[in-house]
């Protein structure tokens, strides 16, 4: 059986794959998560970043099936990456509050021999209206500092979200249904 390698150090992605009982290894890609220069469509960017991560690890692990992923948050066509500091997290959350935005996760698989498959998942998230004090309280928790869009729906950030349309796990960082289907296309039985 082919080894499955997750090209990510994300504890959320690790937890999601463990949750569904997959056996895998973690090999961080080391690829910078560059939000781009705004000239590329957000879904194209998410797929390209996921593939770049998967290919980087596949070059070091040529006998493995490598899974790469990248999650971005898009508001009014602009990509919101991970905030650099608390001040940027506050600015991001103030832009997101009371509005909808789209979370896109690119997913890439690279198999031994070079076969590749790249897709993406999109989920719309509506954030409830928030006061400046609520935003600052959340940012002081430290949770948003390593998250695209400056919030974590699976943590305290759940208090910020009014509703979602689409895959919840996509917002966490890995659309499990899509990943399962792709893994099965590569011969790895998930169910």
pLDDT digits (tens, 9 = 90+) for 92-147: 999 999 999 999 999 999 999 999 999 999 999 999 999 999 999 999 999 999 89
Q: What is the pTM of this model?
A: 0.94
Instruction: Look up tokens 């080894």; give the residue.
Output: 3
DSSP output for 166-189:
S-HHHHHT--HHHHHHHHHHTT--
Number of H helices, E strands in the chain: 6, 7
Q: Do 180 and 20 meet the contact criterion of CB atoms below 8 Å apart? A: yes
Any idea what DSSP says for residue 140? H
Contact partners, residue 26, CB within 8 Å, separation at least 6? 5, 6, 8, 9, 14
Give the pLDDT score at 154. 94
Domain ranges of the chain: 3-185
Give the pLDDT score at 37. 63
Residue 66 CA to residue 56 CA, distance in Å, equals 9
DSSP output for 62-119:
TTEEEEEEEEEEEETTEEE---SSHHHHHHHHHHHTTSEEEEEEEEEEE-TTS-EEEE
What's the average model confidence in pLDDT over 150-176?
96
Phi first, then psi: what are they for 179, rounded to 5°?
A: -60, -45
What is the chain's mean pLDDT, rounded?
Answer: 94
What's the average model confidence in pLDDT over 1-21?
91
Output the CATH code of domain 3-185: 3.90.950.10
What's the average model confidence in pLDDT over 71-85?
93
Residue 163 CA to residue 179 CA, distance in Å, equals 23
Please list the active-site residues: 70
């Amino acid at each position: 059986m082919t080894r499955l390698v997750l090209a990510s150090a994300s504890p959320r992605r690790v937890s999601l794959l463990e949750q569904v009982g997959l056996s895998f290894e973690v090999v961080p890609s080391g690829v910078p998560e560059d939000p781009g220069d705004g000239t590329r469509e957000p879904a194209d960017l998410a797929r390209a970043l996921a593939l770049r991560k998967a290919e980087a690890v596949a070059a070091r692990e040529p006998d493995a099936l490598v899974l790469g992923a990248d999650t971005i948050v898009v508001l009014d066509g602009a990509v919101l990456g991970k905030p650099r500091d608390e001040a940027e997290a506050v600015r991001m959350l103030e832009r997101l509050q009371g509005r909808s935005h789209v979370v896109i996760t690119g997913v890439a698989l690279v198999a031994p021999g070079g076969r590749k498959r790249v897709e993406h998942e999109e989920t719309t998230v509506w954030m409830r209206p928030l006061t400046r004090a609520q935003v600052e309280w959340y940012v002081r928790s430290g949770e948003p500092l390593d998250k695209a869009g400056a919030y974590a729906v699976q943590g305290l950030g759940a208090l910020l979200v009014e509703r979602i349309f689409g895959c919840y796990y996509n917002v966490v960082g890995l659309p499990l249904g899509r990943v399962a289907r792709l893994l099965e296309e590569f011969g790895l039985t998930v169910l």
